Chain A
């Protein structure tokens, strides 16, 4: 196995880079899409609610690989779309639906009293959403987002089927030429495992950083030794 790793070192690391690029690009795009559709689904405008629901039904109701192929072969029959962007858009559109549900849930989980207090101070709906509701909702969404991002990272392997040489694409061609598929797959599995480990670590750091408990500790430190009741 070490030998497979050594002889394909360059190809694997290049592929790894592509996997990371695809993942991060679709993560950013997917988050934007997710946020927009979260706003659609909490909107008071019925039409926007329906659009958000329809999007969710389409994405949930069809396999990811079908979505990728439709996007790639469909769009590239109209405009020329590089594989990279086809893959990124497909992953983003797919994950955007789930991310929008995460954002919607976290926005709706914020206590009604927060919006009321903001409105009672004269803040309009948008300002209250932006300054009071969203900052709290984002914090609350971090664990679920981290989970979704890890799914996205693993699902990104599907872009191999529109011809990209990401980690999985490269693996398939290496395994096809060295006739030792099992060992090659295990090497690739380890690559993904390390990547997922890295993502998990980053997110747990983020989570800790925005942990409300920590802000309590911070304010205890600032309170000049006065006892704190909870």
Chain B
């Protein structure tokens, strides 16, 4: 479903990704962990081309993507993304946030889009918030709306960049619950998170990033109970 080969990305003189290989199969949930600055966000953003890689290959659905030639907007329709700071559109209601892209990108009829939006809101438990503005929601509610908004484009892949890091602790659970449900429904997901409980329970694979490279990737049980790489051990001993 996603195949990254030797991905290199620099900002100015700073090389942030130093040849990353990562394969994610259909319906697989991969959790990406690593210290701040190790390149997790950058890697995620290379998958939907919010950042354009300098070298290497990105394949999505078996199709190799050349950023200069492909219509990246089409790729992004298939790869949803959820951000740490939600990035909801504050001038739109919850419902308007969700139908915006289906109506203006997919040219879906407004009624149809609303109907689907309500199904999604039901799914994330926020049916009654459809007409609210984002400002009036709690962080956990905002993030659930953001997930619904991404799902409205019916993506084949979902990327999550620290979706619970900006939340008060008591609101983390409700967002993880929605993500877990999504995983159970068979969504292909790449999740950057510090929630090790979620990684253990939901991930099919945990990948550890350090200094622009993936040093170790394993089934969560092996990963947490029997890490091989010294850096991984160090990292885990610090956070667990």
Where the two chains meet, the residues of A that have a C-beta atom closer than 8 Å to any C-beta of B are 111, 113-114, 116-124, 127, 131-132, 135-136, 139, 212, 215-216, 218-220, 222-224, 226, 228-230
Contact = CB atoms under 8 A, between A and B. Distances in A.
B230 to A, nearest CB: 35
Interface stretch (B16-24, B85-93, B201-209): B85-93
B132 A222 contact: yes
Given A219-B132, A223-B136, A228-B136, A113 B100 contact: no
Given A121-B150, A123-B101, A135 B91 contact: yes
Q: A-side binding surface: helix, strand, loop or mixed?
A: helix
Scoring B101, B106, B153 by chain A CB atoms within 10 A of each residue's CB, the highest score goes to B101
A204 B132 CA distance: 25
A136 B74 contact: no
A228 B134 CA distance: 11
A160 to B, nearest CB: 42
Contacts of B91: 135-136, 139, 215
Contacts of A229: 137-138
Interface in B113-149: 128-129, 131-133, 135-138, 146, 149
Nearest to A121: B101
A188 to B, nearest CB: 42
B89 A216 contact: no
A224 B128 CA distance: 8
Contacts of B50: 116, 119-120
Given A123-B101, A136-B89, 10 more contacts: A113-B83, A114-B87, A116-B87, A119-B73, A120-B50, A122-B76, A123-B104, A219-B93, A220-B136, A222-B132
A132 B132 contact: no
Contact of A116 (B83, B88, B135): B83
Given A127-B104, A136-B91, A120 B80 contact: yes
B188 interface: no
B148 to A, nearest CB: 12
A119 B136 CA distance: 24
B35 interface: no
B108 interface: no
Given A122-B76, A224-B128, A215 B133 contact: yes
A121 B80 CA distance: 7
Task: Report the 10 A-B pairs with minimum CB-CB distance, sorted nearest first.
Answer: A117-B87, A122-B77, A121-B101, A219-B132, A113-B87, A229-B138, A120-B81, A219-B136, A219-B133, A215-B133
Contacts of B81: 117, 120
B131 A222 contact: yes
A52 B91 CA distance: 29
Contact of A121 (B129, B137, B149): B149
Given A116-B87, A117-B83, A218 B133 contact: yes
A226 B93 CA distance: 16
24 contacts: A114-B87, A114-B89, A118-B89, A119-B73, A120-B79, A121-B77, A121-B80, A121-B100, A121-B105, A121-B149, A121-B150, A122-B73, A122-B101, A122-B153, A123-B100, A132-B89, A212-B90, A215-B91, A219-B93, A219-B135, A222-B131, A223-B128, A223-B131, A226-B128
B176 to A, nearest CB: 18
B42 interface: no
A139 B90 CA distance: 12
Contacts of B80: 120-121
A139 B91 CA distance: 9
Contacts of A226: 128
B223 to A, nearest CB: 28
B193 interface: no
A211 B31 CA distance: 40
Contacts of B79: 120
Nearest to A222: B131
A118 B76 CA distance: 10
B164 interface: no
Interface in B56-98: 73-74, 76-77, 79-81, 83, 85, 87-91, 93
